[in-house]
Amino acid sequence: MARSWTEAKLQNFITSEIEESLTLEYKSGEALDRNETKKKEITKDVSAMANSAGGIIVYGIREFEQENKRHLPEKIAPVDRRSFPREWVEQIIQAIRPRIDGILIHSVNLSSGENDVAFVIEIPQSNTAHQASDHRYYKRFNFQAVPMEDYEIRDVMFREQTPNIALNFLIEVTLETQNIVIQARNNGSAFAQYVACFLDVPVALLEKVENKMNLKDGGKFYRHRLTNLNQEYADEKFKASFPLLRSMVMHWKIPLNSEFEALRESDLALKWKIYADNALPKEGRISLREIEIVDLRRNREQM
């Protein structure tokens, strides 16, 4: 996260139309108030960030009210530091239990007035679950702070004791081949002795179908079983299971046919489910059009 904040940097969020996300939220200065409802809302939003992926909350930027522009920043809407000093915000956040370590609150002076400021709150992802002042647990979901399910609370509480495998996808194109590359990264504090990913890829994208027993959903998908067996690291290739250590990354490649680019505007999507040691399984889907293409053909031609 950034450590130096200025009005120009905040203005860039607006001019660049940077939308809210899992890790970014805008609040106008009016969102700060001394009534109990607003104070509970602060602890709800901050704890939800910590319970999810961490992120930034900006108090001092207003969103558009129009439905088609919701979650986009409209303009600076300052906080009056005389009414709401940074120390007051810190005190409200301290009502979260247990306290969140590593929170930074930046006070950004604004040119609109002598006492006009914006507060940028940087919130790290936590290794346990945090409770808002209303004694509930929240997470970030679809730009909002929503209540957590029981299993989600337990999952976050054991975050430090379990691996946390995140998947990323890209399509790599060379003069000879085109592959979908699956990257698994361990963002958890504990290493993963065993990693297994079940990836269902639309048959229409694949170069070949090796085993018809792996066809799913009436033959529309082919299931790939990807594990941490026979992984390559630097100049070595491990013949047995090699643990995915903290912050370590492993890759798998699946060959695609030459027609995949023509199918990018379709509704084709990949579905995945990943298991790692005693962590709860995670699953999701990603559409073909969302996957970035890395074209290495030009680099090869220039050499």
Q: What is the pLDDT of residue 179?
A: 94
Measured distance CA(44)–CA(49) in Å, rounded: 9
Query: What is the total count of domains within the chain?
Result: 2
Nearest to 282 by CA among 193, 128, 159: 159
Show which of 159, 186, 206 is a domain's final residue: 159
User: Same domain for 286 and 190?
Assistant: yes
Measured distance CA(258)–CA(222) in Å, rounded: 17
- Quote the domain boundaries for residue 166: 162-302
Chain-centroid distance of CA 282 in Å reads: 14
User: Same domain for 169 and 145?
Assistant: no
User: Same domain for 33 and 134?
Assistant: yes
Q: What is the pLDDT of residue 2?
A: 46
Q: What is the pLDDT of residue 241?
A: 67
Measure the N-to-C terminal CA separation of the chain; round to a whole number of Å: 37
User: Same domain for 230 and 294?
Assistant: yes
User: Same domain for 26 and 124?
Assistant: yes
Show which of 136, 159, 182 is a domain's final residue: 159
Measured distance CA(34)–CA(151) in Å, rounded: 34
Measured distance CA(160)–CA(167) in Å, rounded: 19
Q: What is the pLDDT of residue 298?
A: 67
∠ CA 107-112-115, nearest 5°, is: 50
- With respect to residue 2, please indicate whether it lies within any of the assigned structural domains: no
- With respect to residue 244, please indicate whether it lies within any of the assigned structural domains: yes
Reading the chain (303 residues) residue by residue, the pLDDT tens digits are 445 899 999 999 999 999 998 899 999 999 999 999 999 999 999 999 999 989 999 999 999 988 888 889 999 999 999 999 999 999 999 999 999 989 999 999 999 999 999 999 999 888 889 999 999 999 999 888 999 999 899 888 877 788 888 899 999 999 889 999 999 999 877 889 999 999 999 999 999 898 999 999 999 999 999 998 755 555 555 555 678 888 889 999 999 998 888 888 788 999 999 999 988 788 888 989 889 899 887 655 454
Show which of 119, 141, 159 is a domain's final residue: 159
* CATH number, position 247: 2.60.40.10
User: Same domain for 155 and 166?
Assistant: no
Residues 88, 79 contacting (CB under 8 angstroms):
no
What predicted TM-score, i.e. pTM, was given to this entire model?
0.59
Residues 60, 28 contacting (CB under 8 angstroms):
yes
Q: What is the pLDDT of residue 73?
A: 95
Residues 203, 209 contacting (CB under 8 angstroms):
yes
Q: Report residue 34: phi and psi, to 5°.
A: -90, 0
Look up residue 87 and give its two tokens.
């120390």
- With respect to residue 272, please indicate whether it lies within any of the assigned structural domains: yes
Measured distance CA(61)–CA(111) in Å, rounded: 14
